[in-house]
């Protein structure tokens, strides 16, 4: 493909906009790393008898020469049969016309929406969940999803009126994590809190004004693993937990704070007025992950 004005190119480029994404339930994934993760998820899904994740891949000859794994992947999926996956060589001009980036990275995949219903997440008996309430910046949404993936969270839930996680900038920021753990979109926070509580999870808010201190919860959790007698706060960090994280500028609203069992502050040791969303989210999720995975 060499004509950047071809109908097919325009069709792909439309997925940069939210309305086309929503209507077609497809989104764009750009760059070798993210496309690799999408293709892995695609293969794993098909092997497990599920539906396709990737519908089309467009790559430059240079990119395929540089990353021979893509050709190998296409050969192996063709051999295993049943895949509808289309793979086409495209010029850099075509790739640039398909993307919203100035420098496309040589490969673009058109993927199907991967979000799942909350019920599916809860059926898998999760230990660690994150609920992002009204997060607005696509980069923050992607970064938190990647941090939740690194911390081994079982899923990330986005509230209604959050940024679209299928926005190309959000997808880039996830660095492939969108294909690693289940994502729930458009959720109502009070429903999420109620269903998670019913499923045995404690519900915590990351809140700079919280009465509980995250470091103290961590130390108490470590003390329990050493069978030490120490004062005990009202929450055990190793318990199955849903964390609520708020909007970048306003944090959690009064109504959202009403939904939680406890408000937990990440301590600020220096002069910073507050933590940014990514920092607070990372520290909270890692603290839970470590407490839950400590050999007892």
> x/- contact string, 91-130, with a second copy (CB under 8 A)?
----------------------------------------
Is 226 a binding residue for a second copy by CB under 8 A? The answer is yes
Q: Which has the closest alpha carbon to 152: 130, 132, 174? A: 130
Indicate which single residue of 8, 169, 197, 290 sits in contact with a second copy (rule: CB under 8 A).
Answer: 290
* Closer residue to a second copy, CB minimum distance, 22 or 228: 228
Q: Which residue from 210, 222, 257, 263 is in contact with a second copy, where contact means CB under 8 A?
A: 222
Question: Could you report how far apart the first and last alpha carbons of the chain are, in Å?
Answer: 58
Q: Pattern 63-82, binding to a second copy, x per CB under 8 A?
A: --------------------
3-state secondary structure the chain: CCCCCCHHHHHHHHHHCHHHHHHHCEEEEECHHHHHHHHHHHHHHHHCCCCCCEEEEEECHHHHHHCCHHHHHHHHHHHHCCCCCEEEECCHHHHHHHCCCCCCCCEEEEEECCCCCHHHHHHCCCCEEEEECCCCCHHHHHHHHHHHHHCCCCEEEEECCCCCCCCHHHHHHHCCHHHCCCEEEEECHHHHHHHHHHCCCEEEEECCCCCEEHHHHHHHHHHHHCCCCCCCCCCCCCCCEEEEECECCCECCHHHHCCCCEEEECCCCCCCCCCCHHHHHHHHHHHHHHHHHCCC
Among 24, 56, 101, 286, binds a second copy (CB under 8 A): 286
Cβ proximity to a second copy: between 33 and 239 the closer is 33
Q: Which is nearer to a second copy, 58 or 158 (CB)?
A: 158
Q: Of 60-68, 81-89, 192-200, 266-274, which part binds a second copy (CB under 8 A)?
A: 266-274
Contact residue for a second copy among 62, 72, 120, 215 (CB under 8 A):
215
Q: Does 289 bind a second copy (CB under 8 A)?
A: yes
Dmax (CA) of the chain: 71
Under rule CB under 8 A, residue 51 binds a second copy = no
Closer residue to a second copy, CB minimum distance, 87 or 171: 171
293 is a contact residue toward a second copy (CB under 8 A): yes
Binding segment toward a second copy, per CB under 8 A, in 5-13, 20-28, 45-53, 174-182: 174-182
Whether 39 contacts 64, CB under 8 Å? no
Q: Does 56 bind a second copy (CB under 8 A)?
A: no
Considering the rule CB under 8 A, would residue 282 count as an interface residue with a second copy?
A: yes
Residue 143 contacts a second copy per CB under 8 A: yes
Tokens for 245? 């994280």
Nearest distance in Å: CB 124, a second copy: 14
Binding site for a second copy (CB under 8 A): 33, 139, 143, 146-153, 175-177, 180-181, 215, 218-219, 222-223, 225-226, 228, 266, 268-276, 278-279, 282-283, 286, 289-290, 293-294
């Amino acid at each position: 493909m060499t004509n950047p004005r071809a109908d097919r190119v325009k069709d792909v480029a439309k997925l940069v906009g939210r309305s086309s994404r929503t209507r077609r339930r497809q989104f764009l994934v750009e760059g070798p790393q993210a496309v690799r993760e999408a293709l892995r998820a695609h293969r794993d899904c098909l092997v497990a008898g599920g539906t396709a994740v990737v519908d089309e891949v467009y790559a430059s000859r240079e990119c395929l020469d540089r990353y021979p794994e893509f050709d190998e992947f296409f050969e192996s999926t063709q051999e295993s049969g049943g895949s509808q996956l289309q793979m086409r060589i495209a010029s850099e001009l075509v790739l640039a016309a398909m993307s919203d980036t100035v420098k496309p990275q040589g490969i673009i995949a058109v993927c199907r929406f991967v979000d799942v219903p909350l019920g599916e997440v809860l059926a898998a008996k999760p230990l660690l969940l994150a609920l992002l309430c009204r997060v607005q910046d696509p980069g923050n949404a992607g970064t938190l999803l990647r941090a939740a993936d690194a911390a081994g969270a079982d899923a990330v839930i986005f509230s209604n009126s959050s940024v679209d996680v299928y926005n190309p900038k959000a997808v880039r920021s996830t660095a492939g994590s969108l294909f690693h753990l289940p994502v729930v979109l458009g959720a109502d926070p009070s429903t999420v809190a109620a269903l998670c509580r019913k499923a045995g999870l404690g519900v915590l808010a990351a809140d700079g004004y919280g009465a509980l201190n995250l470091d103290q919860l961590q130390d108490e959790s470590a003390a329990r693993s050493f069978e030490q007698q120490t004062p005990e706060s009202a929450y055990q960090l190793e318990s199955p937990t849903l964390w609520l994280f708020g909007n970048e500028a306003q944090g959690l609203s009064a109504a959202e704070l009403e939904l939680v069992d406890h408000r937990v502050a990440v301590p600020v040791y220096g002069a910073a007025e507050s933590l940014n969303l990514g920092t607070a989210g990372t520290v909270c999720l890692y603290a839970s992950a470590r407490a839950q995975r400590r050999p007892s």
